């Protein structure tokens, strides 16, 4: 391995560690949902707002983060926003009211919103085109490991030390990561006196190349004027928000309420979703790159399988169908883990290199904005049925959510078909 390759992996390691934390925060509310309900004496709808504050702010910062990555450089962006996420984590851990928890989660979301896009910008400068899908898939896989850590490992951490201390420690770790990031990350090989990667040729619908000094309005007009960009973005909105809402908020309550599981067992089964996502992120990228399999076929088949999974979940009715949960969660995670990298890479390839940050910055908020909407809305759907005397929600309430998720993936299929139909 050359010195150049070693340095790339060193940078990737710290970016991976920071992205690990970002994804841990996405899933964490489902593990401490009951704690938050009891601590702040709230209902499912307000709990949805606490969890969704992360996604609202994450979505809001994506466009400016993309522009900043293209202008001032991704190293500065990642470092600053990682510190913001650490501040939010500590605010969340010390909050004395639901309002304080919402503010803390909002800071966390704003902070971790400045990580993924700059990372892709760095990859676009340090990795060749044929390496990009694979390295993006690996980063998403590491993020899914963060999601895994927010399941059973975080469950035991919370059981041992409580949710406040646990999140305080996570915040301090984020500060350490930010400092390491500043000293290790470099925006391009040229900053280390190495030659740039091979030149890449990009075609735009306008037929012209952009420049890093391009006016903001021009950047937006090129990206937003592309119809395929919109289809891919809408597909990401519905697929990503559905998966993140279920994994990040309702899985553990669902398993505890309908299957009468304890928190540890439910947290263990929750692990299957990010574990499957990790497998899908890595394997799908490899198969597409190495075997020359068409992306549209992979994408549409994956979405179809997810639709079948939601239909099956709708008909499960408790203890008698427990064994279906394991394969369903694993398969669903694998498929979504393949869907999102394909969508992300497809957007990158629509535009020239120096519009990568802007394009991804406008597309990436879709799934998180959808999650910010879906989490409180699904909480409202649960509250429509009301709690049982035991404090659990009935099966009927969760079936309302599954119908919403089924509709979302059906829309995803339609948009994916329209975006990739020219590929045959």
pLDDT over 70, % of the chain: 92
Q: All domains of the chain, ordered by start, with CATH?
A: 8-187+215-423 (1.20.1250.20)
Instruction: Please answer whether residues 145 and 112 qualify as being in contact, where contact means their C-beta atoms are separated by less than 8 angstroms.
Output: no
**Can you tell me the distance from the alpha carbon of 181 to that of 166, in angstroms, rounded to the nearest whole number?**
23
HSE of 233, CA atoms in CB hemisphere, 13 A: 20
Which pLDDT score, from 0 to 100, does residue 319 have?
67
pLDDT in tens, 93-126: 999 899 999 999 999 999 999 998 899 889 988 8
Q: Which of 146-160, 278-292, 365-379 has the lowest mean pLDDT?
A: 278-292
Which pLDDT score, from 0 to 100, does residue 200 have?
43
Strand spans (E) along 269-414: none
pLDDT in tens, 334-364: 999 888 878 877 887 788 767 777 787 788 7
The sign of the torsion formed by the CA atoms of 331, 367, 12, 358 equals: positive
The average pLDDT across 1-30 equals 90
Burial of 407 (0-12, 13-18, 19+ CB in 10 A): middle
**Can you tell me the distance from the alpha carbon of 49 to that of 37, in angstroms, rounded to the nearest whole number?**
12
**Can you tell me the distance from the alpha carbon of 23 to that of 144, in angstroms, rounded to the nearest whole number?**
7
- Distance from chain centroid for Cα 200: 28
CA distances from 195 to 4, 190, 198, 199, 216 (A): 10, 6, 9, 11, 29
- Distance from chain centroid for Cα 103: 20
Q: Which residue has the tokens 């409180």?
A: 376
Say which residues have a Cβ less than 8 Å from residue 399's Cβ, sequence separation at least 6. 314
206: phi then psi, degrees, rounded to nearest 5: -85, -15
Q: Which two tokens stand for residue 419?
A: 């975006």
The full DSSP string for 385-412 is H---TTSPPPHHHHHHHHHHHHHHHHHH
The full DSSP string for 193-248 is T-PPPPP-----TTS----TT--HHHHHHHHHT-HHHHHHHHHHHHHHHHHHHIII
Go through the chain and tell me how many residues it has.
424
Given a cut of 50, whether residue 208 has pLDDT beyond it is: no
Instruction: Please answer whether residues 278 and 16 qualify as being in contact, where contact means their C-beta atoms are separated by less than 8 angstroms.
Output: no
The pLDDT-based confidence of 204 (bands split at 50, 70, 90) is very low
The average pLDDT across 379-401 equals 88
The average pLDDT across 293-311 equals 88
The pLDDT-based confidence of 221 (bands split at 50, 70, 90) is confident
**Can you tell me the distance from the alpha carbon of 165 to that of 412, in angstroms, rounded to the nearest whole number?**
39
The pLDDT-based confidence of 218 (bands split at 50, 70, 90) is confident
The alpha-carbon radius of gyration of the chain (Å, integer) is 21
């Amino acid at each position: 391995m050359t010195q150049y390759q070693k340095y790339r992996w060193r940078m990737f390691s710290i970016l991976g560690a920071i992205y690990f934390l970002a994804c841990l925060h996405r899933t964490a509310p489902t593990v401490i949902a009951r704690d938050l309900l009891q601590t702040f004496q709230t209902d499912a709808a307000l709990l949805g707002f606490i969890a969704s504050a992360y996604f609202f702010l994450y979505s809001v910062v994506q466009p400016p983060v993309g522009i900043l990555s293209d202008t001032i450089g991704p190293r500065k962006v990642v470092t600053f926003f990682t510190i913001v996420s650490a501040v939010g984590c500590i605010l969340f851990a010390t909050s004395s009211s639901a309002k304080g928890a919402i503010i803390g989660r909002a800071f966390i979301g704003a902070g971790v919103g400045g990580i993924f896009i700059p990372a892709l910008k760095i990859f676009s400068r340090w990795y060749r085109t044929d390496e990009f899908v694979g390295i993006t898939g690996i980063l998403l896989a590491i993020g899914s490991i963060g999601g895994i850590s927010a399941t059973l490992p975080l469950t035991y951490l919370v059981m041992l030390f409580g949710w406040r201390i646990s999140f305080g420690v996570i915040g301090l770790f984020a500060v350490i990561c930010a400092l390491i990031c500043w000293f290790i990350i470099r925006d391009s090989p040229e900053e280390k006196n190495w030659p740039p990667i091979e030149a890449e040729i990009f075609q735009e619908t306008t037929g012209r190349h952009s420049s890093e000094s391009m006016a903001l309005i021009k950047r937006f007009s090129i990206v937003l004027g592309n119809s395929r960009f919109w289809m891919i973005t809408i597909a990401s909105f519905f697929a990503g928000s559905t998966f993140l809402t279920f994994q990040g908020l309702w899985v553990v309550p669902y398993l505890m309420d309908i299957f009468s599981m304890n928190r540890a067992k439910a947290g263990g089964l929750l692990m299957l979703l990010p574990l499957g996502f990790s497998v899908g992120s890595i394997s799908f990228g490899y198969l597409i790159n190495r075997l020359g399999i068409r992306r549209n076929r992979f994408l549409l088949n994956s979405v179809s399988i997810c639709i079948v999974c939601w239909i099956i979940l709708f008909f499960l009715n408790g203890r008698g169908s427990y064994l279906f949960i394991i394969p369903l969660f694993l398969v669903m995670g694998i498929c979504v883990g393949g869907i999102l990298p394909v969508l992300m890479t497809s957007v990158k390839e629509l535009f020239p290199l120096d519009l990568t940050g802007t394009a991804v910055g406008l597309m990436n908020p879709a799934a998180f904005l959808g999650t910010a909407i879906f989490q409180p809305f699904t909480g409202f759907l649960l509250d429509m049925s009301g709690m049982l005397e035991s404090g659990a929600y009935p099966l009927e309430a969760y079936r309302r959510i599954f119908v919403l998720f089924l509709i979302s993936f059906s829309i995803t299929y339609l948009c994916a078909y329209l975006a990739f139909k020219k590929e045959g």
